Amino acid sequence: MPLVSNINSLRAGIQKDLAETWRQQWPVYEALQKAFLHYLPWINIRNAEYGFKERIPMPKPWPYGKGRSYQMFKDRKLTIGLFPYELTVPYSERDSSDDQLGDMKTHLGQIVGRFLQLPDIMITEYMTGTASYNYNGLVLAYDGVNLYSTTDGDGAARFGVTGGNIRTGSGVSTNAQVIDDIIGVRRQFLEMLEPVTNQPLHDPNKVTYNNMIFIVPTELDGIFRAIQKQQTIYSDASINTAQSNQFVGEIVYHVNQRLTDANDWFVVLQHDYWKPFAYRAPQNVRQILAEMNNSDHAREFAEETMYADLRLGIGPWAPFTTIKVSNS
């Protein structure tokens, strides 16, 4: 996403503050978003279609004297629309004049940060299953079911593995339960199969614990922190003494404050190409400041207004790169 277009603002210093806010806050959200989002080429169409290849054929035996057999790619497509979002903030001109602490200017600069949070919010709604900011609803994945599902649109085990991309969790009361699910999630990724060819879907060299990002609610921060950092840990419910922790420095987790279930957590397998979501990133944030020298409303009511808006689009793409661990 490029820097904010602020050419219409006449208030000195706001453009600088907006750019600085962008610089400071973008890395905070990028760490989570870059694992989830595949940035699509920009197309200036409200509802754009994007094609992709779901599988690559496997070589076949070629007996002497026999002709070749042609194998085709399996084509899929997804449609992602652009949807507008706006933020309009009026404030009294007298508040601006009486602003001794620089509070008004600081808050105006935070408008950029609010827009940066939108992808994070929309991703989380797919996790919780409740749409609000995704006001076009939660779109089904290309195989006809929700982003997280045990079966595909035909009712078969999704990606050829029992549970699809949902794992029934062992619980979150002990380290041992969570560790068992961390190991189980890796196994579930490894067991996923390509359609038609029935070959392993993932490269085992890429399905490593340090290549998975764990997304957890605030309630599980402590237990994941212990698994990530402690040298010794109670990692087996049947053993009463602490053992050497095999996951020290091996896992990366993020706390998602918007997750509403204290027991469910999520895993994203980092991949160079495939991502859980395809994202039509906005080309700019349109921002206008209506103030005394350019607005009749501002002069009449002594009320200045910050207007900001953009359009973006997001939708599920490659659900085989993420797993939900359900303990509910």
Residue 166 has pLDDT above 90, yes or no: yes
User: pTM, whole model, 2 decimals?
Assistant: 0.85
Domain containing 197 equals 14-57+77-326
- Which of the pair, 111 or 271, is modelled with greater confidence? 271
Cβ 30 vs Cβ 170: under 8 Å: no
Mean pLDDT over each residue of the chain, to the nearest integer: 84
Q: CA 223 to CA 103: how far, in whole Å?
A: 38
Asked if residue 72 is part of any domain, the answer here is no
Percentage of the chain beyond pLDDT 70 is 82
Asked if residue 233 is part of any domain, the answer here is yes
Asked if residue 200 is part of any domain, the answer here is yes
- Residue 257 — pLDDT band, cuts 50, 70, 90? very high
- Residue 239 — pLDDT band, cuts 50, 70, 90? low
Asked if residue 3 is part of any domain, the answer here is no
- Residue 6 — pLDDT band, cuts 50, 70, 90? very low
Highest mean pLDDT among 49-63, 203-217, 238-252, 293-307: 203-217
* Domain count across the chain: 1
Asked if residue 275 is part of any domain, the answer here is yes
Q: State residue 80's pLDDT score.
A: 93
Residue 97 has pLDDT above 70, yes or no: no
Asked if residue 70 is part of any domain, the answer here is no
Cβ 157 vs Cβ 151: under 8 Å: yes
Asked if residue 71 is part of any domain, the answer here is no
User: Stretch 78-93: mean pLDDT, rounded?
Assistant: 87
Q: State residue 8's pLDDT score.
A: 44
Cβ 304 vs Cβ 290: under 8 Å: yes
Specify whether the backbone of 160 is left (phi greater than 0), alpha (psi in -120 to 50) or beta: left
- Name the DSSP class of 268: E
